Amino acid sequence: MSDPGSTPGTDSHCPYCALQCGTVLTRTPGSDGTPGTVAVSPSQFPVNEGGLCQKGWTAGTVLDAPDRLRSPLLRDSGGRLAPVGWDTALDTVAARLREIRAAHGPDAVGVFGGGGLTNEKAYLLGKFARLALGTSQIDYNGRFCMSSAAAAGNAAFGLDRGLPFPVTDLGRSDLVLLAGANPAETMPPLMRHLNRARALIVIDPRRTATAERAALHLRPEPGTDLALALGLFHIAVTEGHWDKDTVARRTTGFDEAWQRAAAWWPERVERLTGVPAAAQYEAVRLLARARRAHILTGRGAEQHHKGTDTVSAFINLALALGLPGRPGSGYGCLTGQGNGQGGREHGQKADQLPGYRSLTDPAARRAVARVWGVPPDRLPGPGRSAFELLSALGTDDGPRALLVFGSNPVVSAPDASRITERLRALDLLVVADFVPSETARLAHVVLPVTQWAEEEGTMTSLEGRVLRRRAVRLPPPEVRSDLRVLHGLAVRLGEPPERYPTEPRVVFDELRRASRGGPADYSGISYRRLDRGEALHWPCPGPREGGPGLDSAADGGEHPGTPRLFLERFAHPDGKARFQPVDHRPPADTRDEDFPLWAVTGRLLAQYQSGSQTRRVPDLLAAAPEPFVEVHPDTAARYELADGALASISSARGTVTARVRIDPGARSDTVFLPFHYPGEGRANLITGGALDPRSRMPEFKVSAVRLEPAPSGSGEIR
């Protein structure tokens, strides 16, 4: 890429969450040949309408973090990470990978990706893992974020797209029900739309900033969301609020689902969840009276070992009310990471191929293998899911080498202490990042890579809209793109160079071909159409095979994209949605005398994910400088804890040290911890590895804990 020079203003998108707010990037060149600084301001993009959150406004700062990685690092004989040249770093990695594969087989090498990678990076990473490495052992951190909603959406609708309608539809809604989401802190610009809705219902154990704006706040005991959803479904049917005609015409499986929900009458639900029966009735009445209504789920509903069933129960409620497929109404999932949607569509998930195809589908394997120029039997089968992959590292039958792109599992993975030990047990850990994250500090080789304002590419927002990321400055001299890194390693491993393009536009054109005919069909989308400002939501099919090429004068076909799904039919072969028969079951943990409280984890306004970016922005760190534990006054008094004191929060898996923050609005049986912090403040030291049997999502959201004053001399918590 040539130096773009001064930029009067380049349209792009925020590097953080899946809302993908529109931004304008302005570059001021450096006076000494440095890349120059980047200022971020909002654009009048539909999802943010000229607004940004704190993270978006300050995003340019992290590009010039004082500790930004500027050359490859190799761990020397003394155990220190020391700078080396790129040839040395890549030669070392390739040689060790060859040795490990020769001794233990291709599945002795694993790959761990991220939901912040562009579509091009995610696509090429999946291709690299399956062809250059020949491994089945690839997954990504999106498994921790939205996989339960994906599994539930596929089961119900035959297709998984976070929002099957544009965000702007929410502002025209009469009622929005939010289950387990706090967008006032996690996606503040979304509140512009939610505040226009005539009413808001929030389901959350905490009195969050979002809940404070709600007309009705239902506060179930942690781990009981599924029972509450079953109860709301029960009321909708018994009170005659369900849409019998739509259920009969457009769905199947109602009777089986109702047989499960019939046992969850409101008083039983109240005894289990703590939500008054009167509030349950009011919630359903509000939903039923709304001409336009939406039900949205977030991480609070998903991050359980029964998360898929919980989301399915909310989808059952939506289907009973006739919302999915009704113009102006619907069900959706608030996808979290910046490219969480695109990241799971193009092959870095253990069981998927590009275009959201199944890795076990022979036709899908043939289609993708044809684009890749290899026989279908060269593609490995499905591998381990994210937590299972991390848990197996360094074991007799698990990977002995791991390549990490765009993730920081030392902080973000559950049961973090054990996962850290598994990473330490590897024969080879390679981390591609732009700062020395907590995971990078454990690596044998660290590879410095470009960031969002230094690279071209595409992202896919939570509403399935494909967006252009644009470069406004050159990266530091010794920093390379992930695409160049993958190319360099693949060639050293004996792959043909042309199989791993380094230009994002070329990679995207191949992705289009590989996705053609798949559920997430991008074949009609091109950089040219995106650069013209077209709003293209997938599926957006291009020309049929045998017709004009994808790069014909018609520019890949003129399909307008699909901003609203399911208006005429759902994606199952018969065109109908499927009710799912689900039932409540308790959390994996049990409260007892040793662990009498529930702990819930979540995000803060001023921090993001593992914090490796936002903790390096002075303004954001000042706003949220250290981990805390939110405690009800009565609970704090019971355990002799004062506001501002250090506390130990312990589960069967580990102990977190955090500053006490007394909150009269908290539940007395529940404490809350943000998960953005490293060291002794890692909230995931207490979370466990119980997995949803379908999505393989870990149970982040409910852990049995005890609370006590921290011992004197506790370590640094920042």
User: Is 153:161 a contact under the CB 8 Å cutoff?
Assistant: yes
Confidence at residue 545, expressed as pLDDT on a 0 to 100 scale = 59
- pLDDT above 90 for 6: no
b/e code 460-469 from CB counts within 10 Å (16+ = b):
bbbbbbbbbb
Q: b/e string for 11-43 if b means 16 or more Cβ within 10 A?
A: ebbbbbbbbbbbbbbbbebeeeeebbbbbbebb
Question: What length does the chain have?
Answer: 718
Count of CB atoms within 10 A of residue 56's CB? 24
Helix (H, G, I), strand (E, B) or coil at 2: coil
CB 704 within 8 A of CB 604: no
Buried b (16+ CB within 10 A) or exposed e, 486-520: bbbbbbbbebeeebbbbebeebbbbbbbbbbbbbb
Q: Which of 105, 159, 609 is nearest to 383 (CA)?
A: 105
pLDDT recorded at residue 713: 66
Q: What is the reported pLDDT for 716?
A: 61
DSSP 679: G
Evaluate the CA torsion angle 431, 436, 440, 441 in order and state its sign. Answer: positive
The pLDDT tens digits of the residues spanning 169-202 come to: 999 999 999 999 999 999 999 999 999 999 999 9
* pLDDT tens-digit readout, 374-385: 999 999 999 999
Residue carrying the six token digits 């001064």: 6
Q: Give me the mean pLDDT over the 225-239 stretch.
A: 98
387 vs 144, 300, 409, 578, CA distance in Å? 8, 19, 10, 29
Minimum mean pLDDT range among 137-151, 404-418, 544-558: 544-558
| Contact assessment for residue 306 and residue 580, using Cβ atoms and an 8 Å cutoff | no
| DSSP state letter for 92 | H
What confidence tier does 7 reach under pLDDT thresholds 50, 70, 90?
A: low
> How far is residue 87's CA from residue 278's CA, in Å, rounded to a whole number?
68
Q: Are 81 and 446 spatial neighbours (Cβ–Cβ below 8 Å)?
A: yes
Indicate whether 570 pLDDT > 90. Answer: yes
Alpha-carbon span 585 to 564, nearest angstrom: 34
Q: What value does the mean pLDDT take over residues 606-618?
A: 95
Give all domains of the chain, ordered by start, each with its CATH number: 7-62 (2.20.25.90), 147-334 (3.40.228.10), 597-709 (2.40.40.20)
C-alpha distances out from residue 394 to 80, 149, 301, 426, 508, Å: 21, 31, 32, 5, 35
Q: Which residues contact 628 (CB under 8 A, 6 or more apart)?
A: 658, 659, 660, 661, 673, 674
**How many other CB atoms sit within 10 Å of the CB of residue 438?**
20
So what's the pLDDT on residue 335?
Answer: 85
Q: Are 188 and 605 in contact (CB under 8 A)?
A: yes
pLDDT of residue 555: 45
pLDDT number for residue 557: 53
Q: What pLDDT was estimated at residue 173?
A: 98
Task: Determine the pLDDT at residue 549.
Answer: 43
In which band, very low, low, confident or very high, does the pLDDT at 540 lie, cut at 50, 70 and 90?
A: very high
| 632-661 pLDDT tens trace | 999 999 999 999 999 999 999 999 999 999
Q: Hey, which bits of 424-572 come out as E strands?
A: 428-433, 445-448, 457-460, 466-469
Read off the pLDDT of each residue in 1-25 and give the average, rounded to a whole number: 83
pLDDT tens track for 513-530: 999 999 999 999 999 999
pLDDT of residue 666: 96
Q: Alpha helices, DSSP H only, in 77-189?
A: 86-104, 119-127, 147-157, 183-186
State how beta strands 628-631 and 597-602 pair. Answer: unpaired
- In the prediction, which pLDDT does 548 show? 44
**For residue 327, what pLDDT is reported?**
96
What value does the CA radius of gyration of the chain take, rounded to a whole number of Å? 25
Residues 602, 308, 143, CA angle at the centre, nearest 5°?
60
pLDDT for 574 beyond 60: yes
Residue 356's pLDDT is 96
Which residue has tokens 């308790």?
Answer: 586
- In this predicted structure, the answer to whether residue 546 has a pLDDT above a threshold of 60 is no
Q: What are 449's strand-pairing partners?
A: 480
Q: Which of 409-423, 478-492, 550-564, 657-671 has the lowest mean pLDDT?
A: 550-564
Q: What is the pTM of this model?
A: 0.95
Phi, psi at residue 420, to the nearest 5°?
-60, -40
H/E stretch holding 602 reads: strand 597-602
Residue with tokens 């949803």: 692
pLDDT over 50 (residue 209) = yes
Q: What percent of the chain has pLDDT over 90?
A: 93
- Structure tokens that stand for 538 in this block: 């997938």
pLDDT of residue 3: 54
Strand order in the sheet with 330-333: 216-218, 200-203, 175-179, 293-297, 330-333
Mean pLDDT of 547-571: 73
The H or E element that residue 252 is part of is strand 251-252
What is the rounded average pLDDT of the residues 241-268?
98
Q: 200-203 and 216-218 as β-strands: parallel, antiparallel, unpaired? A: parallel
Pairing mode, if any, of strands 109-113 and 216-218? unpaired
Mean pLDDT of 107-128: 97
CA distance 103 to 96: 11
- 3-state DSSP call for residue 32? coil
Confidence grade of residue 533 (pLDDT, cut at 50, 70, 90): very high
- 205-232: average pLDDT: 97
Whether the predicted pLDDT of 229 surpasses 90: yes
pLDDT at 390 over 50: yes
- Average pLDDT in the chain: 95
Which tokens hold the place of 4?
């773009």
- Written as six digits, the tokens of 509 are 């054109």
Query: What is the tens place of the pLDDT at every residue in 411-462?
Result: 999 999 999 999 999 999 999 999 999 999 999 999 999 999 999 999 999 9
How is residue 505 written in tokens? 């536009």
Which range has the worst mean pLDDT, 83-87, 438-442, 548-552? 548-552
Tokens 């690839």, residue located: 138
pLDDT confidence tier of residue 29, bands split at 50, 70 and 90: confident
